[in-house]
Amino acid sequence: MQLAGQVALITGGSRGIGRATALAFAAEGADIAFCHLDDGAKADETAAEITALGRRAMHRSVDVVDTAATRRFAAEAAAALGPIDILFNNAGMNIRKKFEDYTEAEFDRIVAVHLKGMFFMAQAIYPAMVARGRGCIINVASQRALKGAVNSTPYTAVKAAIIGFTRALAWEATPQGVRVNAIAPGPVDTDLTAGMEPAFRQAFIDALPIGRFGRPEEIA
């Protein structure tokens, strides 16, 4: 019960790493607010699993690109569950194709979901953390930010930007009592990786010392 009495807000929390983290935090005593994008049935399942652990849960469909919507969700979560102690900035997406084939709209969407959504969700909860002198922000980056990857240039670039954002905010936040960190998972078995071509997926696995993709629970 390391998180007893705390409230965690998770973006992209209905499935994958977000769901696994929501359940791990709930098992440690935290109440959970999470958002998803039009994934109501799966979100209801995740919320039921959280409540089965004896914790409170709420969820909303939120496009994290919509800054006003993220602010509303953060305010609703705090009103329903209490001040946010932990933010897990996890929402993400990817479009895999050759560098020369990306459209401007695809580029803008990938950057906005990952970086804009993360930036302004953190901004929505940060002042209240500073006012209380405590809090924890965890941003999901990727090993691709450090290693690069084929057929994934916008995603890789924006994950590198997330590392820069995390480092910059940590300098401001730490003196205020708020910790800011990033995690950079390798490939994990989620819906985001399920659509990979078999040969491409196997090439990834062959390059991993552990010889397999990670599991969401391991990242949680």
Q: What is the pLDDT of residue 149?
A: 86
pLDDT beneath 70, residues of the chain: 192, 194-195
| Distance (Å, whole) CA 101 – CA 97 | 6
| Distance (Å, whole) CA 145 – CA 45 | 32
Q: What is the pLDDT of residue 6?
A: 98
Active site residue 155: yes
Catalytic residue among 25, 73, 120, 155, which? 155
Per the structure block, which two tokens stand in for 147? Answer: 């290693």
The amino acid at residue 19 is: R
Termini Cα distance of the chain: 15
Within 10 Å of residue 115's Cβ, how many Cβ atoms?
18
Task: Read off φ and ψ for residue 183, nearest 5 degrees.
Answer: -115, 150
The amino acid at residue 181 is: N
Q: What is the pLDDT of residue 98?
A: 96
Within 10 Å of residue 65's Cβ, how many Cβ atoms?
18
Q: What is the pLDDT of residue 192?
A: 67
User: Looking up tokens 């965890």, which residue turns up?
Assistant: 138
